[in-house]
Amino acid sequence: MLRGMSALNAISQPAREVLLEALMSVAWADRTLADEERKAAQAAAMSLGLVLPGERDLASPDRTPIPPEQLAVDALNTRDRELVFLCAAWMAFADEVEDPSETQILDRLQRRFELTEERVKWLKERAHELRDEQAPDASWWRAFDKLVVEAAKALQGPAR
């Protein structure tokens, strides 16, 4: 069913901006934007068809993400919330180091999305697996696009 799908149609429109903001929260959590995180965030914006103006631009030094508690999640279904969380966890591992400040952001996202501990554990494990499966020479755009599609596939399978 998801064969030939891209990130753009693997996630609902309302979830796209929430996803990008969640990724930026994780990327900026340690107050530094590693090159890998910047590339991953830019790839996410391109993949999701989101172009952010001015101070919301991903590369802007003035860029500050929306706090997890203020993300507009009411229109998101459970699958979208889990997909956003899984991608945020993947971003936490983008530079291969999950900083304690990134873990704190993931904890805040968990609360905002109302996800159980058991489900978060599974989502983080899947994020690690998808990160490990990423081809070392793949572009960030291709890696992110594959992440969203593979995450969508994974969320179709396991029972909740």
Task: Indicate the pTM of the whole model.
Answer: 0.80
Residue 92 contacts residue 106 (beta carbons within 8 Å): yes
State the amino acid at position 65 in one-letter form: P
Give the model's pLDDT for residue 125: 92
For the chain, which residues make up each domain, given as ranges? Answer: 7-155
Average pLDDT by consecutive 10-residue portion of the chain (160 residues)? 52 82 82 70 72 54 78 92 92 76 95 97 90 74 74 65
For residue 44, CA distances in Å to 6, 94, 139 come to: 12, 12, 12
Instruction: Quote the pLDDT of residue 160.
Output: 44
Shortest CA distance to 109 belongs to which of 55, 51, 69, 137?
Answer: 69
